[in-house]
Amino acid sequence: MSRKTFSSASRLALIVIGFLAVFGGGPASAAVEDEIKARIQHPAEVCVMGTPCAASIVLASVNTGPKDPQMVYETFCFACHGSGVNNSPVYGNVEAWAPRIAKGMDALYESAINGFNNNAMPAKGLCADCSPDDIKATVDYLVKAAQPAP
**CB contact at 8 A, 134 and 66:** yes
Least distance from ligand HEC to the Cβ atom of residue 129, Å: 11
**CB contact at 8 A, 105 and 88:** no
Which of 135, 130, 106 lies closest to 55 in space, CA to CA?
130
**CB contact at 8 A, 125 and 76:** yes
Least distance from ligand HEC to the Cβ atom of residue 20, Å: 56
**CB contact at 8 A, 53 and 41:** no
Q: Which of 48, 64, 117, 150 binds ligand HEC (CB under 6 A)?
A: 117
The footprint of ligand HEC on residues 42-101 (CB under 6 A) is: 72, 76-77, 79-81, 85-89, 100
Q: Which of 55, 58, 90, 127 binds ligand HEC (CB under 6 A)?
A: 127
Please name the amino acid found at residue 120: A
Q: Binding residues for ligand HEC, per CB under 6 A?
A: 72, 76-77, 79-81, 85-89, 100, 103, 107-108, 111-112, 116-117, 120-122, 125-127, 135, 138-139, 142
